[in-house]
Copies of this chain bind each other. A is one copy, B any other.
């Protein structure tokens, strides 16, 4: 497995990391990604997954010529160098028609790259001994915790920094070329150009302090594919020229003219005619319209210059329906609904203007977040897992509708969303969104409880009604339903929003009571009815996965009952959790771990019986995350999660046998979902039993860390991330049933476990209880209303606020109360200090 990995050091990828794709784009905006060669790939701007989609002729190129006195061609005869700003293609090379013309694979490129992606910030150095300048690319889309709007700008900043290390001045041009993607559908013509609805149009525009290309179409505004795109540059970037529309025709005259002009002159001019082909044009002639924008600057010896391009887009409409793989009768799929960002921006130009005006604060916030997250004492693989999976939130997996509703798939198949309806049982694992964009999680809770919970308390675990579709009629799920209850408590901890709690309270009570009625028919507070769950089958005997979620949910509900003043319910639910938890522990704990209570494991398919289920303490992990403490005897819990590590973590999968989907294989390490060290494997175990899911690896690892088993925890996370090293799989895409799978957002629990931070906005309190052995702690923190960097050492606790407003009066560190001399609001740039 070592081939291709030689260039890799400390998370730095080289150009052979073909699996790597660093996504740009905001929350609910779609994406375009940067590959390890520095190329733009996976064009997914227009509200649908489109992994592998290419936008023809969309690339950056650089020209370096003699500058200063030699600019006109000096006596030293220095020849201009012109090449595409990408590393060369690595084999295997594409077949069928070789590389298509739109790939411009036949133009000179650079030798290699060094890519360092600390999501949301990409830094990429181009490596080429023959290029007379140094070039690096910084790429990002603004990411501002707690601000879903500023983290949801449909844009990508692409800044090429060029440094002249030589003794002579050089004249440098960087040109960005882009095919107008408005109206492009998934179909391709024989040239592999997209087939378009409508006719794309390109124009040059200089207004509002910016200039560049504005790409539109004649599609009506309510057309599903209508939209606009802009490629712009900011104030004083250098000499800006453009070729707004390349020649088009039956053949590729346009790219020849573009390249010749750019190579020969370093600047661009508009084409005098649209096409050299005589009219009338045949019906099949492409509607592909490419445009280029060039920026030229002179660099004295030792000087640097930023060639910054901003790609902004605006595809306001999405289908009014999921159009997924489960529900096939969305009644309003032909109608359109607007994206949230379309309510803030009229078009891609407006996005570009806003981005230009606010770039500095947006970039500062993005960098502050990146620094706060990664400049940390937490282990590298943990930070990598936490940070890299934030891409899920800004992938096609998640979106926001015009009315502010947050909705999400489970993940994104290559060409369509996977499993619609903000699935409660998958999203129950997810944590990152709650700590970074808590308003979006509250939106999901409102949908689940106010829209999707029926009169009898049964919750539809897929939220189809956000598009007006009929309620989804399938089994209720205990993991998702009680997970939602738990998460309401989490959302309250992170907001202190009593109004929110009151709003969802009646439905929440119904949802909790439904669990008793449906899954505890014998009234012993141990769930044992037929329980559909996240494995897409039904467990028929009592198991600790569902049970732990049930009891965690009851305790969370009881906390909320206290908040709304219903002491009766609070007491009843706490009593049920205590009695039921004790009974469950007796029933299922086998002295080492919790097994399923089942007389005959083969009487019904898809059970696990005596197996070691990785998820057996899922509810306990969720309880730890919100500070509810141990649900079961702590020594049993610790023994159980240790058993999960002992039996289910495989340092190598070479001998593993799985006939299921395969996310980890060969000499890779991973945590399987279940194993049977004591025998008793069912003839047909539950359908994913032999798979390896990163979301479950993270929940187990976080739990191990919460229980103090930090080495075991780190072993799992290290394995997970080693499988996503850019060569095997993309670091920014952990797939399960779809790319960018939501369950991977369980990774945030790692940060909570390793930092040991718990906060409560209403109480204005913070508790810090890092794993034993932690000396100085430095970590990102978020309370849900403020975020920044946290430092803990012998001198005390310091909270440096980078965003939001922090109100904290109480701090408890490892059980000891600390004090502060400061009260009131702590604002960005300020630090709150607690001392012993």
Contacts and interface: CB of A to CB of B under 8 A. Distances in A.
Interface string A717-756: 0000000000111100101111100000000000000000
A413 B89 CA distance: 22
Q: DSSP majority for the A interface?
A: loop
Contacts of A71: none
Contacts of A251: 537, 606, 687
A89 B96 CA distance: 23
A188 to B, nearest CB: 10
Contact of A735 (B88, B97, B108, B325): B97
Contacts of A729: 91-93, 95
Interface string A609-638: 000000000000000000000000000000
Interface in A84-134: 88-93, 95-101, 103-109
Contacts of A100: 661
A259 B106 contact: no
A414 B95 CA distance: 9
Nearest to A20: B92
Interface string A651-686: 001111111111101100000000000000001100
- Copy number in this complex? 2
A664 to B, nearest CB: 8
Contacts of A325: 190
A161 to B, nearest CB: 25
Nearest to A689: B256
Interface-central residue, A256, A257, A733, by most chain B CB under 10 Å = A256
A727 B92 contact: yes
A4 interface: yes
A814 B653 CA distance: 64
Nearest to A276: B605
A314 interface: no
B98 A663 contact: yes
A690 interface: yes
A657 B735 CA distance: 38
B655 A108 contact: yes
A662 B99 contact: yes
A106 B663 CA distance: 8
B107 A259 contact: no
Nearest to A17: B92
B739 A252 contact: no
The 3 A-B pairs with the shortest beta carbon distances in the complex, nearest first, are: A106-B658, A105-B662, A98-B663
Given A19-B92, A106-B665, 16 more contacts: A51-B95, A88-B665, A93-B728, A95-B730, A95-B735, A96-B738, A97-B413, A97-B736, A99-B665, A101-B661, A106-B657, A106-B691, A107-B658, A107-B659, A260-B683, A276-B605
10 contacts: A3-B3, A51-B95, A88-B666, A92-B729, A96-B735, A101-B661, A106-B659, A252-B660, A253-B605, A263-B657
